[in-house]
Amino acid sequence: MTSQDTAEIAAEGSSADYGKLQWRILLGFVLGLASGLLVYTFARDAAWVESVVAYVTNPIGQIFLRLLFMLVIPLLFSALVVGIAEMGEARSLGRVGLKTLGYTVVVSSIAVVISLALVNLIRPGDGIDPAAAQELLEQGAEGASSIVAASAESEAGVNQVVAIVPNNIVEAMSSNDILAVMFFALFFGIGLLLVKTPKSGVLKDAIEGVFEVAMKLIGFVIQLAPIAIFCFMFNLTAQFGWDLLFKLAAFVGVVLLALGIQMFGVFPMILKFVAKKSPLAFFRQTREASVMAFSTASSNATLPTALRVADNELGLPRRIARFVLTIGATANQNGTAMFEGVTVLFLAQFFGIELSLMDQAFVMLICILAGIGTAGVPGGSLPVIALILVGVGVDPAGIGLILGVDRFLDMCRTTLNVVGDLVAAQTISTLSPEMAEEGEAMSARRDEP
Ligand code: ASP
C-alpha cells in the first residue's frame, strides 16, 4: 500500500459527515453553556448539581479526553515515523525540517513580543480589586498547589534541553513525555529512511498500518465530541457562572487582543506575502480545524482534523503537511507562548512585582521555548507558567487566580495554535516548490466532479 492510499483512508468519509458533526459540536457547546448558566442562576448551591457534575458530566468529559489521549502516542509515533520515512531523501528532510524550525522560532518570537508589549501597555494586573483577588486565590488554591507540585518535578534550564533525548523510550511513552517520544520517532524515522531492505519495508508498512488504525479509532471517538463538549461547558458555567470572567475581564481582554492580533494581523500577512495564499480563502478552508481546536482545547486531539483539512481543503503536499502538522501540534504553539507571556506578566503586576527589562527578556525567551515544549493537551500551559513564575520570583500559587478562566482561554489559544500550524504547513509548502506538484495534483483531483 502506498502512502497516498494511507492518507486517503485517513481522510475518507470526511467532508459531508464532518460538516454535520461540526454543527452537532456547536449545538453541544451552546446547549452546555445555556444549561450551565441556568443552573448557576437558579440552583447554584443545590446538592443535585454537585452530583450531576461529579457523577455524570465530569466523568463523561474525562472519558472523552482519555480516549483521545490513549490514541495520541501511537498516532504521533506512527505519523512522524511514516512522515519522515516518506520524505524520501535525507536531504529534503533536512530542508523541510530546517525551514520548519526557522519558521517556528521567528513566528513565535513575533507572537511573544506582541503579547509582552500589550501587557506592559495596558497593565491589566493593576486594575484588579485586592479583595476579589484574594477570594480567587483561595478558590484556586487547591488546584494550584497540585500544579505547582507537578511543575517542581519537571526539569529546568539546560536539563530541559537534555531531557528531550529520552534514555528509555518506554518510560518516555508511559509518562506522556511527548517531546522525548517525538525525538525518538524522528530518530527512528531517519533510521528507516536509511535502511532499504525488504524487512525494513515491511516494518514501514506495519507502522503505516498503526497510523491508519489510530486515525480510524479517532474518527469513532470524535463522534462523541458533541456530548463531551456539552459536559465541559456545563461544568464550567454551572460552577463559575460569568463571575470569573467579569472579575478577570481585563486579563481576558488582553489575552484575546494578543491572540487576535496574531490571528488576524500577523497570520494574514504571512499568508499573503510569504505563502502567497488568500487569507480569506485560508480561514474559510480551515474552519473545521478551528472549531475542533476551540471545542477540545487540545492541539493533539485536533491533529487528525488538521491533517484532514490540509489534505482535503488546502490540498497541501501530504509529506510536508504530515511532517509540519505533527511536529507543530506540540512544537509550534503561538497561542500558548502568548498566553504564557501575558499570564506571567499579569501575575507579576498583580502581586506588585516590577520586572526589569532583563527579567522580561528572560520571560520572552522561556515563552518562545515553552511554546515549543508545552504539551498540546488542555491546560498544558499551566505547569510551564508555574515554572516561569518561580524563575522570575512571583508566587506560583497565583496561578489559582486564572484557573477559573483558563478553560475558555485555552480554547482560544488552542485555536491559534492549530491555525498557526496550518499557516506553517501552507508557508513551508510554498517555500518548498520541489514538493508542490503532489499538492497540485491532489487539488485537481478534488475539484473533479
Ligand atoms: N491546550 C493547548 C493546546 O493543546 C496547550 C496549552 O496552552 O495549554 O494547544
Does position 402 have pLDDT exceeding 80, yes or no?
no
Owning domain of residue 385: 3-447
Give the highest mean pLDDT range of 197-206, 237-246, 392-401, 437-446: 197-206
Does position 335 have pLDDT exceeding 60, yes or no?
yes
- The enclosing domain of 332 has a CATH number of 1.10.3860
Q: Distance, CA 68 to ligand 1 centroid (Å)?
A: 15
Does position 387 have pLDDT exceeding 60, yes or no?
yes
Q: What is the pTM of this model?
A: 0.69
Task: State mean pLDDT over 399-426.
Answer: 87
More confident residue, 429 or 247: 429
pLDDT score for 141 = 52
Q: Is the CB of 427 under 6 A from ligand 1?
A: no
Q: Distance, CA 286 to ligand 1 centroid (Å)?
A: 18
Domain count, the chain: 1
Does position 17 have pLDDT exceeding 70, yes or no?
no
Kindly report the length of the chain.
Answer: 449
Ligand 1, residue 300: give the atom nearest the CA.
4
- Integer Cα distance of 11 and 445 in angstroms: 14
- Cell (9 digits) for 124: 491589566
CB within 8 Å of 256: residues ≥ 6 apart: 409, 412
Q: Distance, CA 256 to ligand 1 centroid (Å)?
A: 15
Taking alpha carbons only, the member of 215, 218, 209 closest to residue 82 is 209
Longest dimension (CA), the chain: 70
Confidence of residue 19 (pLDDT cuts 50, 70, 90): low
Does position 204 have pLDDT exceeding 80, yes or no?
yes
- Integer Cα distance of 11 and 4 in angstroms: 10
Contact 323, 96 (CB under 8 A): yes
- Cell (9 digits) for 319: 509529506
pLDDT score for 233 = 76
Counting Cα atoms < 13 Å in the Cβ hemisphere of 406 gives 23
More confident residue, 275 or 176: 275
More confident residue, 432 or 89: 432
Confidence of residue 351 (pLDDT cuts 50, 70, 90): confident
Confidence of residue 14 (pLDDT cuts 50, 70, 90): very low
Task: State mean pLDDT over 346-350.
Answer: 84
Q: Is the CB of 412 under 6 A from ligand 1?
A: no
Confidence of residue 7 (pLDDT cuts 50, 70, 90): very low
pLDDT score for 55 = 92
- Cell (9 digits) for 374: 508545552
Q: What is the mean pLDDT of the chain?
A: 79
Taking alpha carbons only, the member of 250, 230, 290, 292 closest to residue 402 is 250
Per-residue model confidence as pLDDT tens digits over 86-139 = 655 545 656 787 888 789 889 999 999 999 999 999 888 775 556 655 655 555
Q: Is the CB of 376 under 6 A from ligand 1?
A: yes
Does position 357 have pLDDT exceeding 50, yes or no?
yes
H or E stretch at 246: helix 243-247
Q: Distance, CA 436 to ligand 1 centroid (Å)?
A: 30
Confidence of residue 22 (pLDDT cuts 50, 70, 90): low
Of 59-68, 163-172, 419-428, the one with minimum mean pLDDT is 59-68
Cell 525567551 sits at which residue? 365
Q: Is the CB of 332 under 6 A from ligand 1?
A: no
Instruction: Using the Cα atoms of residue 350, residue 351, residue 357 and residue 358 in order, give the sign of their dihedral.
Output: negative
Q: How many CB atoms lie within 10 A of CB 136?
A: 22
Q: Is the CB of 416 under 6 A from ligand 1?
A: no
